[in-house]
Chains A and B, each alone.
Chain A
Amino acid sequence: MKNNFKIYSILFLAITLLASACKKDYGDLNNATIEALSNNASEAELNNLVSGTESGMRNALNFYIDDVSIIGRESYRFSNSEPRYTIDLLGANGSVLGGSNFYITLPWAARYAVVKNCNILIQAANNSSVISASQKNGYIAFAQTIKAYQLLMNLNLTYSNGIRVNVTDPKHLGSFVSYDAGLAAITALLDSAKTNFSNGSVSFPLAGFGNFSDAAGLTQFNRALAARVAVYQKNWQTALNDLSASFLTLSNANNAFAEGVYHVFGTGSGDQLNSIFIPQNQTGEVRVAHPTYISDIEAGDNRISKVSLRATPASQSNLSSNYDVWLYTSSTAPVGIIRNEELILIYAEANIQLNNLSEGVKAINIIRNGHGLANYSGAVTQPALITEMLKQRRYSLAFEGHRWVDLRRYNLLNTLPIDRAGDQVWTLFPLPVTEL
């Protein structure tokens, strides 16, 4: 009897233990998870999210640059294994842009992955009790600024097809908003971030932000982006106001043009190389300048150094060029996010549009002189200066993803050269089919 009791009690104990052990859930033992980070993240974890966000912005960057540069007739991209660069993107043989093709699906998804990371960062910062209120504002402001920039890049591609702005809940994604509403949402995000920076402190490390790594510097970066969005919205006075709070320096002194924020690259573990870099004189994978880059440039313009003469011309599909794109000259060369040269040109544009023509000419001359050219000598009228401003933007921001967007803003896509009979200049990309 006593023995029986012993056996039964051991059995009972074993079953209870087994049943309770089965319910134990350990979470993911190998990786950090959203679930874990959303629950009282440490400062180190938040900093990891910041760096992951900055790092992720570089993913699929080459596709974005190629999309904008090829349709904007800045460059050709020849590839033995990928004809869609010379067929679809240029509209050859009656082809059209397809929503399931890499040129839209890859950059689009990479940008939204960063947006997701920003949303995780915001959630993690809000739920963390180990950071101060001003630190929290700093993290949130950074996440909002980067999110706005990533949304802008996708909106640049899909234009009036729009973007989704509210993507916090993957199960209930917000609907697509129009181009104008998209720009308005991006401006609102940037403005909210600016307010948060003003009440925030920055204690996280950044890689490509140089002098703009603290709250004051990040605010200047934020306003620089806001100025870009403002000229897209034709809010010229707003653009000037934003510029005054940005890092605009009206100067062509040493490196003044290059001052700004960059994607940086490295060979370290888990780091990335510049995906846009292609060595000179390659034969298989080639990125060459559109021939008009050389034929349209003024004599003495030192921006000719953004291209490099090839030993033998490159050609594919009845297109050919003698010049390699040579803006990114090594596998760790930085890629500009926004820099002072663009801000000077935004300053010129806003002033010309507001009929402050002399101020516009002054800014244009800063650019011209900085590149070895004499002062602007053409007519000082608004249309003539807009033409000149667009030309300076073309050469100053060449191969950095601007020309196609700029000509679309001014309804001038029809002025782009057509290389082969029947080629098309596309206005926008279709939405990825997996969004529909």
Chain B
Amino acid sequence: MGIIKEGFFDNVKLRAAYGQANNVPAYGSKFTALGVSNIQGNPGLLVNTQEGSADIKPERQAEFETGIDFSLLKGRLGFELTYYNKNIYDFLLLTTPPPSSGFAQQWINAGNLSNHGVELGLNAKPVVTKAVTWSTSVNFWFNRSLVTKLDVAPVQLGSVGGFLLGTFQIEQGKSATQIVGLNGHGVGVLGDAEPKFQMSTYNEVTLFNKLSLRFLIHWKEGGQNIDVTSLQNVFGGTSATYDNPSSIPHVPYGVTQLMQVGTDAHQTVETSTYLRFREIGLYYTFNKIPASFIKTINVGVSLNNYFTITKYKGYDPEVSNFGTGFSSGLDLDPYPSSKQAALHVSLNF
């Protein structure tokens, strides 16, 4: 077009997309069923804890996405920038009706929810020589959510101890991942599971086409977990800091932690910023093999999840005891994530 010198960009792509999709309600959410509850051989029917919603309908997601991709310097440098805005209408929510109704949960079409965010990707080959090649990719992304409409009273979700230990709460005008709980003088917002941003980078450095170093680093900045694991140790009297002095004379620190349970849940809502080396690998390729039927032999070592830099007190800042979705980031004595070291040998015929 003459504004930019021809040949500077290899490739520029502007893109936009819009789509809609449905999510059908969970099976059985339409009916109030009765379960089997027998007594001494008499067959019994006892109402289930889930209340049916006769007029439940699918939730509808509408997503708009736009972005620009371009590469320059003969493909040595590539960018991808994406903005998305996803609205969910009539989102399906498992609510907790008052227990005096006889029910503990009910699926409803609760309201509208929006997610928007940015994803930025960079691919580069900063060094390409005969002796050394280095290729790298960097990704940066964040998401923000907002409950734009909620037809019912705020709903607590996915908690171990409710307000007592901090719980997620869906509330109109608030983030869908906010954590609320007792704050010392009532109930207030204690955090948000949504990170400020996340970044990851994958790098591969190859020397003489033989020795190759690969590593993947992930950085999550901000975002809170509900960390009950540490408090569990206090309950058991086995936390490392239990006997430390506290601000109250003659009262061990662990006891002051127990005293806060019931009035203040700040201690169980913990920021889970971390920098994690997900994978580091070093590989060497032998390609001059005396035996003609083998083309190459590849040997190497790799470490997975070996190093994590974090101030988080639980076993693992990336924990989720109860799956993903509305209640990820709940830490209750999980199995710690495993560290793996592997030795690789591969033969190519």
Once the chains are docked, how many angstroms separate the CA of A101 from the CA of B101?
Answer: 19
Check B262–A96 contact: CB distance below 8 A. Answer: yes
Cβ-neighbour of A55 out of B33, B46, B98 (below 8 A): B46
Smallest distance from the beta carbon of A261 to chain B beta carbons, Å?
A: 13
B100 at the interface (CB under 8 A from A): yes
Check A53–B46 contact: CB distance below 8 A. Answer: yes
Interface hits, A77-133 → B, CB 8 Å:
80-81, 83, 87-88, 93-96, 98, 100-101, 105, 108-109, 112-117, 119-120
Cβ-neighbour of B38 out of A55, A94, A95, A117 (below 8 A): A55
Check B47–A45 contact: CB distance below 8 A. Answer: no
SS class, residues of chain B in contact with chain A: loop
Smallest distance from the beta carbon of A306 to chain B beta carbons, Å?
A: 25
Smallest distance from the beta carbon of A161 to chain B beta carbons, Å?
A: 12
In the complex, number of A-B residue pairs with CB atoms less than 8 Å apart = 176
From B77-85, B156-164, B314-322, B338-346, give the one contacting chain A.
Answer: B156-164
B258 at the interface (CB under 8 A from A): yes
Q: Mark A26-50, 1 if CB is under 8 A from B, else 0.
A: 0110111111010000000101111
B37 at the interface (CB under 8 A from A): yes
Check A54–B44 contact: CB distance below 8 A. Answer: yes
Check B28–A266 contact: CB distance below 8 A. Answer: no
Check B255–A55 contact: CB distance below 8 A. Answer: no
Contacts of A30 in B (CB 8 A): 28, 33
A378 at the interface (CB under 8 A from B): no
Check B98–A93 contact: CB distance below 8 A. Answer: no
Smallest distance from the beta carbon of A52 to chain B beta carbons, Å?
A: 3
Once the chains are docked, how many angstroms separate the CA of A264 from the CA of B42?
Answer: 12
A56 at the interface (CB under 8 A from B): yes
Check B39–A100 contact: CB distance below 8 A. Answer: no
Check A52–B261 contact: CB distance below 8 A. Answer: no
Interface hits, A379-417 → B, CB 8 Å:
none
A305 at the interface (CB under 8 A from B): no
Smallest distance from the beta carbon of B58 to chain A beta carbons, Å?
A: 15
- Across the interface, name the chain B residue whose C-beta is closest to A100: B162
Cβ-neighbour of B98 out of A45, A95, A435 (below 8 A): A435
A170 at the interface (CB under 8 A from B): yes
- Across the interface, name the chain B residue whose C-beta is closest to A317: B237
A208 at the interface (CB under 8 A from B): yes
Query: With A31-B33, A117-B102, A434-B96 in contact, is A268–B40 under 8 Å at CB?
Result: yes
Smallest distance from the beta carbon of B180 to chain A beta carbons, Å?
A: 12
B34 at the interface (CB under 8 A from A): yes
Smallest distance from the beta carbon of B118 to chain A beta carbons, Å?
A: 37
Check A51–B47 contact: CB distance below 8 A. Answer: no
B334 at the interface (CB under 8 A from A): no
Check B28–A270 contact: CB distance below 8 A. Answer: no
Interface hits, B32-73 → A, CB 8 Å:
32-49, 51-52, 54
A interface residues (Cβ-Cβ under 8 A, vs B): 27-28, 30-35, 37, 45, 47-56, 58, 80-81, 83, 87-88, 93-96, 98, 100-101, 105, 108-109, 112-117, 119-120, 163-164, 167, 170, 173, 205-208, 264, 266, 268-272, 432-435
Once the chains are docked, how many angstroms separate the CA of A170 from the CA of B15?
Answer: 49
Contacts of A100 in B (CB 8 A): 161-164
Query: With A55-B37, A117-B47 in contact, is A31–B102 under 8 Å at CB?
Result: no
Which of B30, B51, B101, B104 gathers the greatest number of chain A CB atoms within 10 Å? Answer: B101
Query: With A55-B46, A116-B47, A173-B100 in contact, is A31–B34 under 8 Å at CB?
Result: yes
B99 at the interface (CB under 8 A from A): yes
B103 at the interface (CB under 8 A from A): yes
With contacts A98-B262, A117-B102 known, what are 9 further pairs, Cβ within 8 A?
A52-B37, A55-B44, A56-B37, A113-B46, A116-B47, A117-B46, A117-B47, A167-B100, A432-B99
Number of B positions contacting A (CB below 8 A) = 44
B290 at the interface (CB under 8 A from A): no
Contacts of B307 in A (CB 8 A): none
Give 17 CB contacts A-B under 8 Å. A31-B31, A34-B34, A35-B32, A47-B42, A51-B37, A52-B37, A52-B45, A53-B44, A83-B258, A113-B47, A117-B102, A170-B101, A170-B102, A173-B100, A266-B40, A268-B38, A435-B98
Q: Mark B243-272, 1 if CB is under 8 A from A, else 0.
A: 000000000000100110110000000000
- Across the interface, name the chain B residue whose C-beta is closest to A316: B237
Once the chains are docked, how many angstroms separate the CA of A37 from the CA of B236?
Answer: 48
Check B96–A51 contact: CB distance below 8 A. Answer: no
- Across the interface, name the chain A residue whose C-beta is closest to B106: A170
- Across the interface, name the chain B residue whose C-beta is closest to A436: B98
Check A27–B46 contact: CB distance below 8 A. Answer: no
- Across the interface, name the chain B residue whose C-beta is closest to A27: B31
- Across the interface, name the chain B residue whose C-beta is closest to A263: B39
Check B45–A45 contact: CB distance below 8 A. Answer: yes
Contacts of B103 in A (CB 8 A): 113, 116, 170
Check A31–B259 contact: CB distance below 8 A. Answer: no
Once the chains are docked, how many angstroms separate the CA of A100 from the CA of B160?
Answer: 10
Once the chains are docked, how many angstroms separate the CA of A170 from the CA of B32?
Answer: 12
Once the chains are docked, how many angstroms separate the CA of A270 from the CA of B52?
Answer: 23
